[in-house]
Structure 1
Amino acid sequence: MEYDGSAVSAKSATLKLSEMGERTKQLGSAMQDPNRQRKLILVIVCVALLLDNMLYMVIVPIIPDYLVDLETEQAARTHANSSVSRANRDNLDIQIGVLFASKAILQLMVNPLSGTFIDRVGYDIPLLIGLLIMFVSTCIFAFAENYGTLFAARSLQGLGSAFADTSGIAMIADRYTEEAERSRALGVALAFISFGSLVAPPFGGVLYEFAGKRVPFIVLASVCLADGVLLLTVIRPFSNGARANMPVGTPIYRLMTDPYIAVVAGALTVCNIPLAFLEPTISSWMESTMNASKWEMGLIWLPAFFPHVLGVYVTVRLAARYPELQWFYGALGMVIIGGSSCTVPACRTPGQLMLPLCGVCFGIALVDTALLPTLAFLVDVRHVSVYGSVYAIADISYSLAYALGPVVAGQIVHNLGFVQLNLGMGLVNVLYAPALLLLRCVCQMKKSCSERNVLLEEEPKGLYDSIRMQERRLRRKGLCTTTVNENELSETPRSLSEEESSGPELT
């Protein structure tokens, strides 16, 4: 009887192991499915962007108070007056401004190199490198005990962002080749960016108040580590043998000289200036004009998340129906940003102030959602369809605004005043909006085939061209193709027989 019972138990255990193995095999095959893998990659990239922007903003309610405590402890140890003097307060403001700007400054310097690196090795390894660096910098933040260590951690975060942000957005653009799908996927990524930026200050403030300085950073570091493990599981970056067949991307200096890409990059910088300049200056202005409390200063940004998501949704829906008007959505967003920025100084209560800030975030959503897919489209039709360098240029545009904000905005307010700062930012956005008219002829090309035309007299160069030629062959039903070079844009209708006779097809 005992022998029969053990045999039954062994048989049951064998069946369970077999079922587990079958489920594991099904899970592995499901993860290799292209559509499922695209969705998982979108999730991984969105979590990475969420983490980066939470790390950028989570220190807003933590660092000023923490540095004051460090200054007070240092004064107490030297038997000096334990209160922070006015001179020390001014020095502290400079330290906070430099600390906030250090991430964007290093990101600005590294992006040209990271964009070229991404074009050479692909998108997955740089994303993993960025997540690893962000994890290390977050852990350093959690256990830092002096200003020098905080500065090193903040700068290191900028290095990680230069790899993670650029490779993540470029990976989305590469995996979603259709314009409507690409706009939708980039819109989802922008929503996560907005959510991370706006939810981080209350998240960090609450945990700092009730659990201490280390807990917010430990939580974010844990999520960052989990996202890196998921990336290794889904993509397996070190086992991708097709990386050697990647085409050579257009150098970043040539992309910067492209007039259309330069117009888009300028718009991304100008539209983010109001947000970058208001973040370090609006709290002191609220304190002096509204006598606002700390919680009111932190919560005025939270409602802006909803119009930002609304702006993303509206732009994605409009772009799907009227893709030739992407330039108009961006120009409209810049006008909304300009008008909202000019109305900020007229507000007299925190409730009134929320309205123009919502307008600024709504306008930024219109500009970003319309122009980020346009960058990928411009690379497709005018250059090589490799997106690392072009999104490094976009990241440079953002970093330029946020590097200048903490350093320049305070000086402008001190010398000219808060009202003049907002009027100037609004005027710059309104005046730049007509420049997007230059994109009108480019966006009209979306009615034709949007993939980069590969010269069929030559064999396909690498994985990206091969995939696009396969997709184009499946979709082709006597449609026209677009013949594009770097200096001019022209549409040449060609019949199916003419196209097939011009060179060998991929079989």
Structure 2
Amino acid sequence: MGFNVPVINRDSEILKQEAKKWLEQQENQKKCVLVIVSIALLLDNMLYMVIVPIIPKYLRDIHNYEVSFEGYHNETHRLANGTYIVTAVGGHIDYHDEELELGWLFASKALLQIFVNPFSGYIIDRVGYEIPMILGLCTMFFSTAIFALGKSYGVLLFARSLQGFGSAFADTSGLAMIADRFTEENERSAALGIALAFISFGCLVAPPFGSVLYSLAGKPVPFLILSFVCLADAIAVFMVINPHRRGTDSHGERVQGTPMWRLFMDPFIACCSGALIMANVSLAFLEPTITTWMAEVMPETPGWLVGVIWLPPFFPHVLGVYVTVKLLKSFPGYTWAIAMIGLSMEGIACFAIPYTNSVLQLIIPLAFVCFGIALIDTSLLPMLGHLVDTRHVSVYGSVYAIADISYSLAYAFGPIIAGWIVTNWGFKALNIIIFITNIGYAPVLFLLRKVHSYDSLNGGGAAPTQNGEMTQLNNAPGYSQVGGKTETTVFNDSYQGWEDQQSYQNSANIPNHAVSFQDSRPQAEFPAGYDPLNPQW
């Protein structure tokens, strides 16, 4: 007997047994996996965006930059008692290399994430999904705690880069874990759609979260809260560790996943990766530049309103996730069309942004941008899992590392390229470039129309049995052939109690051919009186 739990008045051992029994059910395991991964993705994107309202002011407060006073002039005032006071008025303080140091600090997480992802995908394919996710979340816990307590630029840069190392493991293993546990395609689309909604929510809620806590309690508080949530999420992963993963075969040996370089050479996966980059380039270009443009075009806009300009588009993004999941369920063969519409919608909306004159007008194209991103991400992320299932080996670490690299490329180099374009050509030219590239890439997605014609690893040769399971046809030379053509036979699962004879299936030995359930059944050319229960046969 354990101790009595207050409030609910239940014994702790009984509660532990009930929780263990609940977790042993497969559907409940799936729910826990989805919750844990969604929280991990939420934390990662909050860590990415929470520094936006905090770090620029904090670095000035700790006198990180060399400063110079530009444009000041002296004014002399004589007081009533005859005292003269000289004051410096006008001008401004120039913080040397501020934009450069801020740019490196913001981009360091995504840059390190790009370099670590190939290694994280390789490791995840070989050791499973849960342990790398725990490693990533624990790394995020330590790096965020260091960031909370750091008081110099060097320490903050190191902690920010370490966050990228942890995110490379946590994000990739989380998406791969969803693809591994949710094997049915519509179910997988819905689960990944929910995870994507948490990604967007993290990006949008982080700036006000950080700003409010920083003003009320100082810099350490928001980062310490996020760090301890990372640790709690890492502990929760232990509840869903499954030693009997799909990454092992029937003999318990681990299946080797397809190398990342070979996945990159798959034209379908390369097309999806390019579309994910193009979809997120718009946000990566607009987020660091739209605030300055609003200050020039809409100078009367209050500062608080500029800070929450991305909050209303969050709701169209959630709507886009819901609509995409429903469309994929109704039209499973038109994933490419949904992604093409989303990318085109995103480009047209960006083209309209420079022509808006008020905040209300600006929210409308931004809403269409987020809606289009939801169409692309929610349709293509499940497709990556489907491509691995049908064209490669069903181990998902490397393919979702490619997806994470696509996101990181957009957010690592997007702000740098966007700043250069706006400085030299202007904000309107930036949006025209986004429009041209998105519309230009949209026809490339037409290549994905053949994705769902693949039903097995070799693109064909699978036949459904009566119970709906896909089994490999027997291709052994001269085996069940009539007139030179392979004969396809649908067997009855209740034949002579065959479902209980797993030992014979394991002992079947067909030269140069993989053992399968269909191959081990009695064939027409076996002699009369064949008895599958007799081991001599």
* Aligned equivalent of 1:53: 45
* Aligned equivalent of 2:351: 342
Quick check: 1:205 aligned with 2:211? yes
Quick check: 1:437 aligned with 2:446? yes
SS at match of 1:300: coil
* Displacement after TM superposition at 1:240 (Å): 12
Which one has a larger percent strand, Structure 1 or Structure 2?
2
**Contact 1:138 1:153 (C-alpha < 8 Å) held by counterparts:** yes
Aligned equivalent of 1:286, options 282, 288, 294: 294
**Contact 1:480 1:493 (C-alpha < 8 Å) held by counterparts:** no
**Contact 1:379 1:390 (C-alpha < 8 Å) held by counterparts:** yes
Counting aligned pairs with the same residue, the percent is 51
* Aligned equivalent of 2:227: 221
* Displacement after TM superposition at 1:354 (Å): 1.4
Quick check: 1:89 aligned with 2:104? no
Distance 1:452 1:39 in 2: 29
SS at match of 2:256: coil
**Contact 1:114 1:392 (C-alpha < 8 Å) held by counterparts:** yes
Aligned equivalent of 1:360, options 366, 369, 376: 369
* Displacement after TM superposition at 1:443 (Å): 2.8
* Displacement after TM superposition at 1:172 (Å): 0.2
Distance 2:265 2:33 in 1: 31
Quick check: 1:44 aligned with 2:52? no
Say if 1:324 and 1:504 are closer, same or farther in 2 by CA, change over 3 A. closer
Say if 1:482 and 1:425 are closer, same or farther in 2 by CA, change over 3 A. farther
* Aligned equivalent of 1:247: 255
* Displacement after TM superposition at 1:71 (Å): 2.5
* Displacement after TM superposition at 1:345 (Å): 0.9
Q: Normalised by the size of structure 2, how large is the TM-score?
A: 0.79
Say if 1:186 and 1:473 are closer, same or farther in 2 by CA, change over 3 A. farther
CA RMSD of aligned residues (A): 3.5
Which one has a larger percent helix, Structure 1 or Structure 2?
1
Say if 1:312 and 1:493 are closer, same or farther in 2 by CA, change over 3 A. farther
Distance 1:209 1:182 in 2: 41
Aligned equivalent of 2:119, options 113, 118, 124: 113
Aligned equivalent of 1:137, options 143, 150, 156: 143
* Displacement after TM superposition at 1:482 (Å): 9.4
Say if 1:494 and 1:60 are closer, same or farther in 2 by CA, change over 3 A. farther
**Contact 1:456 1:504 (C-alpha < 8 Å) held by counterparts:** no
Q: Which has the larger radius of gyration?
A: 2
Say if 1:67 and 1:474 are closer, same or farther in 2 by CA, change over 3 A. farther
Say if 1:89 and 1:316 are closer, same or farther in 2 by CA, change over 3 A. same
* Displacement after TM superposition at 1:481 (Å): 6.5
> For each residue in 1:247-292, what CA deviation from the matched residue of structure 2 results, as whole angstroms up to 9, or x when unmatched?
0000000000111111000000011101001111111111122123
Q: Which amino acid aligns with 2:55?
A: I
* Aligned equivalent of 2:201: 195
> For each residue in 1:181-204, what CA deviation from the matched residue of structure 2 results, as whole angstroms up to 9, or x when unmatched?
000000010011011011111111
**Contact 2:347 2:436 (C-alpha < 8 Å) held by counterparts:** yes
* Aligned equivalent of 1:154: 160
Unaligned runs of 5+ in 2: 69-86, 475-485, 494-504, 521-537
Distance 1:87 1:428 in 2: 39
Distance 1:473 1:94 in 2: 63
SS at match of 2:62: helix
* Aligned equivalent of 1:183: 189
Q: Which amino acid aligns with 1:55?
A: L
* Aligned equivalent of 1:21: 13
> For each residue in 1:222-264, what CA deviation from the matched residue of structure 2 results, as whole angstroms up to 9, or x when unmatched?
2111111111233277999969722000000000011111100
Q: Which amino acid aligns with 2:151?
A: E
Q: Which amino acid aligns with 1:168?
A: G
Say if 1:443 and 1:493 are closer, same or farther in 2 by CA, change over 3 A. farther
Give the length in aligned residue pairs: 465
Aligned equivalent of 1:267, options 275, 287, 290: 275
Q: Which amino acid aligns with 2:365?
A: P
**Contact 1:105 1:403 (C-alpha < 8 Å) held by counterparts:** yes
Distance 2:453 2:245 in 1: 40
**Contact 1:123 1:167 (C-alpha < 8 Å) held by counterparts:** yes
* Aligned equivalent of 1:71: 63
* Aligned equivalent of 1:372: 381
**Contact 2:179 2:385 (C-alpha < 8 Å) held by counterparts:** yes
Say if 1:431 and 1:242 are closer, same or farther in 2 by CA, change over 3 A. closer
**Contact 1:72 1:82 (C-alpha < 8 Å) held by counterparts:** no
Quick check: 1:34 aligned with 2:26? yes
Q: Normalised by the size of structure 1, how large is the TM-score?
A: 0.84
* Displacement after TM superposition at 1:30 (Å): 1.2
Distance 2:245 2:11 in 1: 28
* Displacement after TM superposition at 1:404 (Å): 0.7
Point out which structure has higher relative CO (alpha carbons under 8 A, 6+ apart): 1
Quick check: 1:277 aligned with 2:281? no
Distance 1:20 1:63 in 2: 45
**Contact 1:453 1:482 (C-alpha < 8 Å) held by counterparts:** no
* Aligned equivalent of 2:490: 496
Distance 1:41 1:84 in 2: 58
Distance 1:493 1:406 in 2: 60
* Aligned equivalent of 2:498: none
* Aligned equivalent of 1:505: 517
Unaligned runs of 5+ in 1: 1-9, 458-468, 484-491
**Contact 2:67 2:95 (C-alpha < 8 Å) held by counterparts:** no
SS at match of 1:423: helix
Say if 1:83 and 1:476 are closer, same or farther in 2 by CA, change over 3 A. farther
